[in-house]
Amino acid sequence: MSTGTIADGHGMAPWIAAQAQTLLAQRGHAWLLAGPSGLGQYDLALALARAWLCDQPGGQGACGKCASCHAIDVHGHADLCVLMPETVLLELGWQLSEKAQNEIASDAGGDGKKRKPSKEIKVEAMRDAIEFAQRTSARGRGKVVLVFPAERMNVFTANALLKTLEEPAGDLKFVLATDAAHQLLPTIRSRCLWHGMVWPDQASAMTWLTAQGVPAARAAVALRAAGGRAQDALLFASLADTWKLLPRAVQRGELGVFKDWTAAQVVDVLHKLCHDLLAMKAGAMPRFFEADDLPAGGSWQSLTAWSKVLSQTRRTVEHPFNAGLMQEALVSQAQLALNLKS
């Protein structure tokens, strides 16, 4: 199971293309694209940047053929500054700064990496962006700063961005993309035009998933597992065949069901399972699993307590704990909660 970010490219989903066209028709130097993960914030942010910098933009956005579009395709546009955590830069194929490359490069003596890539947007990167903002446009079409995921800015990074947001130099545009807008400083939010990401309807999402090569039956399961978020559904497509077996496997305490998963992925799926069981207890329909696939065990009290534990665990899940022991503890908690009688 992969991570939550999506692959780069300009073959946009139709609901992303429609949003890009709407936003390009409006004025504003800073946009904040906000909504839950899996709705295409990064794709939309890059589509806006492409169109703003394109040599021959049309009514639908960037032309996709000019030198500017090609420069973005190869992640080498002189007038586009991409602010991302180093982990996301590496995942999406953007180049790290020379300093970061040297710091992360393997030791000559074979002792491993000097340091791990950062999961935050570092203040040093923001200082480079501020310097970028003060330079003259290389191609004469203005400049763009793209920040993703914007919630990964720490308070120092966000404060460094704030001044440039307030008084942008020349023809400079910003696009910030996030799936946790509540974590951004209020002063950052107030200086951007807000755009809430549009959810695709079921038919559009299924059409798009099958166009990505996911068989229809598997796409339906994956879309349900992702809670209707089409791009997240791509991450669940490989699990579609075993998704219905997962709840009862967890109830039996089978660790193997989460083989090769990260702790964050385990917590996410267990949260979905807990949500659906609580929904059933309250007389509502489950969202992520079919009702027939859910175990009958678990009391209202045990499931509520389990939900609180999962919420607390989510806050620290990326800390460098022993992955095997953490996974064992998570499955043990789940098994206990699911086997208590109502």
Judged by DSSP in three states, 58 sits in strand
Please give the pLDDT value at position 81. Answer: 95
pLDDT at 320 (0 to 100): 62
Lowest model confidence (mean pLDDT) among 4-13, 54-63, 257-266: 4-13
**Encoding tokens for residue 34?**
């906000």
Domain stops at, among 130, 163, 196: 196
Q: Please give the residue that has the higher pLDDT: either 217 or 170.
A: 217
pLDDT of residue 194: 96
- Same domain? For 46 and 115 the reply is yes
Domain identity same for 54 and 192: yes
Q: Is the model's pLDDT at 337 over the cut of 80?
A: yes
- Whole-number pLDDT of residue 169: 73
Whether 115 is covered by a domain: the verdict is yes
Task: Report d(CA 232, CA 6) in Å as an integer.
Answer: 8
Closest CA to 121 of 165, 173, 157: 157
Q: What is the pLDDT of residue 93?
A: 92
Where does the pLDDT of residue 330 fall: very low under 50, low under 70, confident under 90, or very high at 90 and above? very high
Q: What is the pLDDT of residue 322?
A: 79
Q: How many CA atoms lie within 13 A of 320 on its CB side?
A: 2
pLDDT at 171: 86
User: What is the tally of structural domains in the chain?
Assistant: 2
Query: Does 262 share its domain with 322?
Result: yes
Residue 8 has pLDDT above 60, yes or no: no
Q: Which residue blocks in the chain are alpha helix, DSSP H?
A: 14-24, 41-53, 67-73, 86-92, 98-104, 123-133, 155-166, 186-190, 202-211, 216-225, 230-236, 240-243, 246-251, 263-281, 300-316, 323-339
pLDDT confidence band for 297 (50 / 70 / 90): confident
pLDDT digits (tens, 9 = 90+) for 78-133: 999 999 999 999 999 998 888 888 888 754 445 555 788 899 999 889 989 989 98
Which of 196, 218, 252 is the last residue in one of the domains? 196
**204 part of a folded domain:** no
Give me the domain span that covers residue 121. 14-196
**What is the reported pLDDT for 28?**
86
Cα–Cα distance, 268 to 254 (Å, whole number): 17
Q: Is the same domain home to 256 and 155?
A: no
Last residue of a domain, one of 181, 196, 211: 196
Q: Which whole number is the average pLDDT over 313-325?
A: 80
Is the residue at 55 inside a domain? yes
What DSSP line would sit under 149-179, residue for residue?
TGGGB-HHHHHHHHHHHHS--SSEEEEEEES
Collect contacts of 67-70 with beta carbons under 8 A, ≥24 apart: 67/139, 68/139, 68/141, 69/10
Which of 141, 172, 121, 132 has the alpha carbon at shortest distance from 63? Answer: 141
| 157 and 279 together in one domain | no
pTM above 0.85, yes or no: yes
Is 238 inside a domain boundary? no
On whether the CB atoms of residues 176 and 113 are closer than 8 A, the answer is: no
Which H/E stretch holds residue 194?
strand 193-196
Please tell me whether residues 79 and 191 are part of one structural domain: yes
In a domain, 27, yes or no: yes
Whether the pLDDT of residue 2 is over 60: the answer is: no
Indicate if 53 and 184 belong to the same structural domain.
Answer: yes
CB 151 within 8 A of CB 189: no
Q: What would you report as the CA-atom Rg of the chain, rounded to the nearest whole angstrom?
A: 22
Average pLDDT over residues 159-184: 89
Helix H or strand E encompassing 75: none
The mean predicted confidence, pLDDT, of the chain is 89
Domain shared by 136 and 28, yes or no: yes
pLDDT at residue 9 above 50?
no
Q: Does 11 have pLDDT greater than 70?
A: no
What per-residue confidence (pLDDT) applies to 111?
53
Q: Which residue has the higher pLDDT, 224 or 134?
A: 224
In a domain, 1, yes or no: no
What pairs with residue 32 in β-bridges? 176, 194
Q: What percent of the chain has pLDDT over 70?
A: 93
CA gap 111, 108 in Å, rounded: 8
Please tell me the predicted confidence (pLDDT) of residue 170. 74
Pair 137, 54 in one domain: yes
Give the per-residue pLDDT at 249: 95
Quick one: tokens of 202?
């079921």
Same domain, 173 and 312: no
**Nearest-10 crossing angle of helices 300-316, 263-281:** 150
Whether 44 and 192 map to the same domain: the answer is yes
286 within a domain of the structure (yes/no): yes
Q: Provide the CATH number for the domain around residue 191.
A: 3.40.50.300
Same domain for 191 and 258?
no
Query: Residue 216, class by beta-carbon neighbours within 10 Å (0-12 exposed, 13-18 middle, 19+ buried)?
Result: exposed
Q: Assess if residue 97 is contained within a domain.
A: yes
Mean pLDDT of all residues in 15-23: 94
